[in-house]
Structure 1
Amino acid sequence: MQIKFREFNPFDSWFWWQFSTTPSAAEKQYVEEVFRSWFFLGKLGGFNAENIQIQETGLDLNYLQYDEDYADQSFMALMHNMGEFEYQGQWGRCWFDLGTSDAIALDVLVNALRQFSKDYVEIEVLCIGGQNNGWSIDQDYSSFNNGDSYN
């Protein structure tokens, strides 16, 4: 799976993906569940790089002393909004306001989609940000007017 970054604004960003063939309804649903799961983790603050105490501990997690005060003092890193999924031929897209979530969120999404593409539904290209030739975006689409039920 090829990963491409375009102009990127974390508060107003489109994610585009190209399937290897025109996707079935079930294949669309599978991909949507990956994105929805990722978004819900982000909405709950799961992508907070300021508080990665467990990762920073290393391999030996035996009797790890998790510092709740440190966790409470870290800046909140929450995703804000998610748009509706749209499809055109082999392409799919969805709009996100990633809010204050950290870039680790993008690593997690890319890693998940790469494995998903190998095991379930082949995705040839994932484009993060920008626009896609031949498929215009509504300039009024924003975190204040996206009509999504996940907010």
Structure 2
Amino acid sequence: MTEDTFRSVEIERTSVGQYVVRNARGGSMSIGTGQDGSFTPVELLLAAIGGCTAIDVDHITSRRAEPTQFSVEVTGDKVRDTAGGNRMQNLTVEFTVTFPSGADGDAAREALPRSLQQSHDRLCTVSRTVELGTPVSIVEAAGSSGD
């Protein structure tokens, strides 16, 4: 991996079921089990899928016209399956995007379906990773068990 391709976050426990996730740029947010207002890991997964596609689509369409409405709803069903383990299924990303009247708005409306497809097929790293089923390795750092 090169510095250009490497991505990471650090997660620190603040109490039972409560954590702070930090990125290399200094951003942070709380995550937890859903007992308070903190995002759960599943909600973050949904946000990552929708946010990734939203960024792609926004960059492509807003070159033509500034949207008058741009919202994304990401839904799915959490399944507890003894055979396959816990997972999400029926993931759907629904865009509601409107553009102003006129030639620029027409150009943005025309670009919208193609930009959605481009994001899904090749641009959005998050949904591409989920759909391709990239393996995840879970490892214990050397010396992390204590004394």
Structure scoring higher RCO (CA < 8 A, sep ≥ 6) equals 1
The structure that has the greater radius of gyration is 2
Q: Report the TM-score when normalising by structure 2.
A: 0.33
Q: Report the TM-score when normalising by structure 1.
A: 0.33
| Structure with the bigger percentage of strand | 2
